[in-house]
Chain A
Amino acid sequence: MGDNIVTESFSETHRAAATPIVIVGHVDHGKSTLIGRLLYDTDSLQDGKLAQIVESSRKRGLAVEWSFLLDSLQIERDQGVTVDSTRIPFRLGSREFVIVDAPGHRQFLRNMITGAADAEAAVLVVDAKEGAQEQTRRHAMLLRLIGIRHVIVLLNKSDILGFDEAQIVKVESDVRQLLGRLEIEVEAVVPASARDGDNIASRSERSLWYKGPTLVEALANVPPPASRAALPFRMPVQDVYRFDGIRYVAGRIERGTVRAGDRLSIGAQGQVATVAEVCRWHAPELPVAGAGESIALRLEPDLVPDRGDLLFPADDQAAAPERSARIRTRLFWLRGEPLRVGESFTLRLATAEHDVTVASIDAVVDLEDLTLREGDSVPPDGFAEITLAASHAVLFDPFSPGFGDGRGVLVDRYQRIVGGAPLIGPAELADGEHAIHPTASRVSAARQVQTRGHKSGVFWLTGLPGSGKSTVARAAELALSEQAINATVLDGDTLRAGLCSDLGFSPEDRHENIRRAAHVAKILAESGQVVIVALVSPLQADRAQARQIVGENFHEVFVDTPLETCEKRDPKGLYAAARAGKIPEFTGISAPYEAPVSPELRLPADRPEQEAINTLTAFILRIVQP
């Protein structure tokens, strides 16, 4: 029965979806000009559009500028850079394409990813004279990490080199070497001039030595997407509905095929159910569905999976996904601050969400030559290989260009997407290493602010012994509580009485003392608390480490009381003892104190104490009040 339905004369009416092509490259290497030229040469402009370019060019007193076609937003023209990606359809013969324009401006990497992630092929535009530049390397790296399978290189502005074969072959070989290092297969390297139209849609008279394809020929040669139908079935559960008394397990098939009667495993718990029905509304009834379809399944028994549970073939070990709580992954990092070991995120993987912590940064990509180096942080817009530790086993398939598998995305506590993580595979644990799988709070930062009525923060008071840190901190704690703000004070002596009672005052022990205080402060701040740390913390390097541990919530406050004043006050009699040689390594006397160079707040000593308290309280309020 079913066989007859699927053999309907489908091929006659079949229209393939448009092939998305992303155009990337260094700023000013000619991406927008290329797109304008492509549309004109392939006769793909709407009547109104050409008139718009002519009018816009005329208003600015310029000859026709192809790039104006894309610069449709006023702000773009004001800045002279393309802000976001745009999609423009064009046609080559019977095949349809969609051009995704991706900006070359460095700070707009996230817009480029937004445009490029769905592309089937990329055109990497390289200025023939300038060769590969910083953004060329960055974009090439990104093409690999987001999984673009086909790359065409356009050596633009080749007219500047007079289409000289020797010079162009040299640039070509450099670019091929660069892309080879990224394991990117280059479909063609086309010497061209977008402005003049050489080797774009028609073969140039100026490069008769060149026997390769024109850009348009190279695009036409891009093969259609690989079929995902023959791979083992995967459907991440998107949601579960109950309509008209029937339970539906809804989702999109990432790959493979599912049929009524198939036995499926559900998520990591190992439950098994049989597909009772493949359900659709207002569509031909078929007992089967394939990759890419958004469907609903009726299961027998009538189980209720969770969103994120992966459905895959039961009873076939070879068809099962990977399963690990430690995962090695590549990373493209989109946050404005660097990534460091120990940070926690939500890993989104299709519809699943997992709590993960960065267990290690295994290698960082050097963007000068795209080699892997050791590193302890990943800079903004940087690339790396890292290991993630999850709080429980994660089911996944390794990332593979052109497929939906293993496309991890890291999300921070503010629900911001901060990185892309194409998963490599399960991480091996080194011998003797304990596997730790920290968990992260599910309470969002916004929710904490809502329940507590204020934001969190760590206010790190540094200064000489006797400078008044603890006094000011305790007074500020009280003043804040009168404003209904919960603050915790971590001061040196209190910590040393308990948590750090095993530590002395050697540089190593001081360092450890500060490290512990910073971690405690971080945990408290992450739970929404305002934390005031009062620690001598004499060394710049130790405070820098504390800042690194705490992260963007860290605020350095310098209690700037001069040595003479502290010594005169000497509330605990310590200076006298130190002068008498009874206390070795006493900060200010026999151990150094490095004053902060640019603290966020300085509390000068020449003012009454109450003023320092008021200043600190006001400073904290300004930061933590929503």
Chain B
Amino acid sequence: MTQTRILSRDQFTTGLAQPRIMDDLDQLEAQSIFILREAYRKLKPLSLLWSLGKDSNVMVWLARKAFMGHVPFPVMHVDTEKKFPEMYAFRDEYTKKWNLDLLLGYCPPVEEIDPSLPPAARSAARKTAGLAAMIDKHKFRGVIAGIRRDEQATRAKERVFSPRGAGHRWDVRNQPPEFWDQYATPYEDGMHIRVHPLLAWREIDIWRYIEREGIPLVDLYFAKDGKRYRSLGDQDITNPIESNASTVAEVIAELETSRTSERAGRAMDHESEDVFERLRVAGYL
């Protein structure tokens, strides 16, 4: 095929192939790919937290976009052993289908967790301890996590590249500046960077992207007998919502009119005003 190769204003009207106009999902996708590629280049060893929920599936998908169908680093599932059976089946199926290098981590029993935390938060903090053990064991310098700003006010304060110091603590008052797509890199031993490629996405963006790309999900997100899960945590601290949305399109339609927050079904968020921040400073996602 012969083409004129130098771009000029006139040629815009002469039938040369034009780039697509990027819509909001295209822009989010391009930015997330950029972030994932930065992480892969700058942070070694690197791994991606795969919680088996909708957001982390989107994240695995975006990694495949960034790396031409491959995920060139391990994905990590930190198992509380209290997930829904459907989630374990999903994990095993897609580890194979997507050719993932899966690392499994386990969480200490709840008795070993800070007893001053309210019960549901204490249960959730098990995951933090399990994650910390995995990071130490594999000496990860980068951990990719699927949190979003719109989920929870404390997460709205996050950086795309969020440094974690000794003991994996998040120093929320002393975060580095982050602008013009220039991200923090590790500056001392023992620290790692949490990478958040989905920070700018909203819940509805995730669902519209799942619809557009045909990304598979655990069935629990879809209504059965008038109830479905909007957010998936451990079985004992996650509650389903009233809903008849049984397809991705119906979930999107439901969200477009919904005015309650996504984590309404997560018990620990409601126990006290500052509990979520306490969890996050200690390393919770």
Contact = CB atoms under 8 A, between A and B. Distances in A.
Answer whether A and B are interacting partners: yes
Contact of B27 (A146, A244, A286, A292): A292
B103 interface: no
Contacts of B149: 86-87
A227 to B, nearest CB: 9
Most buried by B among A88, A110, A294, A313: A294
Interface in B52-92: 64-70, 72
B187 A348 contact: no
A232 B5 CA distance: 12
A282 interface: yes
Contacts of A124: none
A420 B176 CA distance: 13
Interface magnitude class on chain A:
35 or more
B16 interface: yes
Interface in A33-81: 45-49, 56, 72-75
Contacts of A348: 182
A248 B70 CA distance: 13
A15 B23 contact: yes
Nearest to A50: B259
B138 interface: no
A17 B26 CA distance: 9
A17 B27 contact: yes
Nearest to A288: B17
Secondary structure at chain B's binding surface: helix, strand, loop or mixed?
loop
Nearest to B1: A261
A409 B180 contact: yes
A426 B3 CA distance: 35
A290 interface: yes
Contacts of B277: 73-75
B202 A89 contact: yes
B41 A114 contact: no
A2 to B, nearest CB: 4
Contact of A417 (B9, B27, B37, B176): B176
A84 B261 contact: no
A407 B181 CA distance: 9
B18 interface: yes
Given A83-B172, A296-B68, A315 B6 contact: yes
A73 B177 contact: no
B40 interface: yes
Contacts of B41: 238-239, 307
A524 interface: no
B175 A15 contact: no
Given A47-B259, A48-B261, A316-B6, A334 B177 contact: yes
Interface stretch (B105-113, B114-122, B152-160, B234-242): B152-160
Contacts of A291: 19
A256 B8 CA distance: 10
A279 B68 contact: yes
Nearest to A289: B19
Contacts of B26: 292-293
B96 interface: no
Contact of B67 (A117, A243, A411): A243
B260 A46 contact: yes
Interface in A281-334: 281-284, 286-294, 296, 307, 313, 315-316, 319, 334
A276 interface: no
A45 to B, nearest CB: 8
A18 interface: yes
B255 to A, nearest CB: 12
A287 B202 CA distance: 31
Interface in B10-68: 12, 15-31, 33-34, 37-38, 40-41, 64-68
Given A113-B179, A243-B69, A13 B7 contact: no
Given A17-B24, A18-B24, A316-B6, A114 B19 contact: no
Nearest to A71: B153
Contact of A282 (B65, B159, B175, B177): B65
A133 interface: no
Given A6-B20, A290-B20, A417 B34 contact: no
A506 B16 CA distance: 76
Given A229-B19, A280-B65, A15 B24 contact: yes
B225 interface: no
Contacts of A282: 64-65, 69, 213
A263 B70 contact: no
A73 B172 contact: yes
A252 B30 contact: yes
A595 B9 CA distance: 71
A2 B27 contact: no
Contacts of B150: 87, 89
Contact of A46 (B25, B40, B65, B259): B259
A28 B23 CA distance: 37
A115 to B, nearest CB: 9
A564 B37 CA distance: 69
A16 B30 contact: no
Nearest to B66: A294
Report which residue of B1, B21, B149 has the largest number of chain A beta carbons within 10 angstroms of its beta carbon. B21
Contacts of B25: 15
A523 interface: no
5 contacts: A114-B178, A230-B12, A287-B17, A404-B180, A446-B189
Given A294-B37, A404-B180, 7 more contacts: A117-B180, A238-B38, A243-B67, A281-B65, A284-B20, A287-B17, A415-B186
Interface of B: 1-3, 5-7, 9, 12, 15-31, 33-34, 37-38, 40-41, 64-70, 72, 149-150, 153-154, 156-157, 159, 172-173, 175-182, 184-189, 200, 202, 213, 259-261, 264, 273-274, 277
Ranked 8 nearest A-B pairs via Cβ: A290-B19, A72-B153, A117-B179, A110-B177, A2-B17, A294-B33, A74-B274, A415-B187
